[in-house]
Structure 1
């Protein structure tokens, strides 16, 4: 296995990705220390499982479900929601990332939270999860996560969704926590700035590697799951990569590299799909989600 070492071609984008990944891992360690999740079995201290969220563990895009909830609460208009949706689609499928594209996507993400309090976002996230997300969880992927938990391994979500919302999703599913996009807050209010960039593409790989370095994880014993070719960097840093509900490009990559493929869109029950090698590769880790306990205060 060759571990992914690269990232963006643009040095500035690579720097931002590294900053975002380190911030997400730092937040994960902080929240684990502040509010640890009791393990269900003896803890394996050198392995971890990392799950992408959108279309991997949840049907559709979590940030879009959240945006729908905010629109229903008159945070912005349905027209604004449509524009946001189109820009997110272009961001996911538009191909090579550019500095302008990253900047535009960052500005869209910030438009949701700038000027609002952290507590407000958390309260709304709890409500919106119940209303629009709880019934969107893929049972098959949820079963894979539970297998890791039952084996005494910790499980993190890794997503571009704001870390506060990602942590809510993780905790509602009984997972350890989440690595997500970290936004600055001062005096409990979001400043309109991100720490680095959104946790997307190479930034996810940086977050996983940073967390592994902090917690003494053996990445060769870790497992990662995703539906998107954007997450090939993250999938490439671990010992076992699993393509879940993969897009066409990821399916091709998975076939070429010998990665496992699990597709729950066909209606097959998770119980009918054997995954001995997934658990054999290991998975746990050490720090929980990025953000609820992470309050960056500006001086």
Structure 2
């Protein structure tokens, strides 16, 4: 087996582990009424689909304001992350390392601490960024007696807060390893991104007895094509150029809640904005990982 083949197998294994861990950790809000259609559900990506911007960026920014780390600690990492993303480096191992570093900033902190701060950060930085149109779509599925899950690369703890605040069934998110209620800074598998989202949805479908042919999925990103292609009713929301083109050719529904010139500007800036947001969030997390390794 070639080095490239081994890398692909390794990445697939991590994606599968991440998906299975996300499905196992997904909470179901039992306070909600029993769904009328137990085999149908809807799955929503979060960043730029449910919420304007990147949830992990808002989380990192909120934690920075709470002095989880300093500007000096992340200055060097910011340049490295920005270069990596903007230069378009595609080495699978480098990509995996970048994703794995994205939750390192919570190492040494407790689950309870992140959940408490996550509630505060949602109120101050996320609640007003929810797209009303997407929220209405999610409510439509609930009104039809279907369950609704968020599927995001954000930590499962934050994803669950967003889902609970929006009155949804639950969430699938990245699972960070913890020991005795304290984060180790490592992930279970990989970030819940791309193929890992599809693995999570498939695992949840088995657990909950869902018929994916009766399910819907929503996303803004071509990276979520594996998840969108799993269901009978895929829909592109605020799509990037590649997803819009694919959705049109496949006859999928397209919903764009950005209006007029703003929509054009956002569409043109999607790649750059994602790179900058990812660079900042990645820099934040990498800086914390470095501090933890040095014992500072």
| Alignment TM-score, normalising by the size of structure 1 | 0.79
- If each structure's helix is expressed as a fraction of its own residues, which one has the higher value? 2
| Residue in structure 2 matched with residue 235 of structure 1 by the alignment | 228
SS in structure 2 opposite 1:152? coil
| Residue in structure 2 matched with residue 154 of structure 1 by the alignment | 147
| Residue in structure 2 matched with residue 251 of structure 1 by the alignment | 244
1:203 to 1:247, Cα distance in 2 relative to 1, 3 A: same
1:110 to 1:252, Cα distance in 2 relative to 1, 3 A: same
Please tell me whether the aligned partners of residues 53 and 159 of structure 1 are also in contact (alpha carbons under 8 angstroms): yes
| Residue in structure 1 matched with residue 109 of structure 2 by the alignment | 116
Q: Which moved more, 1:225-234 or 1:98-107?
A: 98-107
| Residue in structure 1 matched with residue 23 of structure 2 by the alignment | 25
Tell me whether 1:195 sits opposite 2:188 in the alignment: yes
Cα distance, 1:111 vs structure 2: 2.2
| Residue in structure 2 matched with residue 62 of structure 1 by the alignment | 55
Separation of aligned partners in 2, 1:37 and 1:91:
42
Separation of aligned partners in 1, 2:8 and 2:158:
29
| Residue in structure 2 matched with residue 284 of structure 1 by the alignment | none
Please tell me whether the aligned partners of residues 20 and 200 of structure 2 are also in contact (alpha carbons under 8 angstroms): yes
Cα distance, 1:93 vs structure 2: 9.7
Please tell me whether the aligned partners of residues 105 and 185 of structure 2 are also in contact (alpha carbons under 8 angstroms): no
Separation of aligned partners in 2, 1:243 and 1:95:
27
Bigger Cα Rg: 2
| Residue in structure 1 matched with residue 272 of structure 2 by the alignment | none
Separation of aligned partners in 2, 1:167 and 1:254:
29
The number of equivalent residue pairs is 255
| Residue in structure 1 matched with residue 30 of structure 2 by the alignment | 36
Q: Which runs of 4+ in 1 moved over 2 A?
A: 77-97
| Residue in structure 2 matched with residue 216 of structure 1 by the alignment | 209
1:243 to 1:207, Cα distance in 2 relative to 1, 3 A: same
Match among 98, 104, 108 for residue 98 of structure 2:
104
SS in structure 1 opposite 2:47? coil
Please tell me whether the aligned partners of residues 88 and 105 of structure 1 are also in contact (alpha carbons under 8 angstroms): no
Cα distance, 1:89 vs structure 2: 9.8
| Residue in structure 2 matched with residue 264 of structure 1 by the alignment | 257
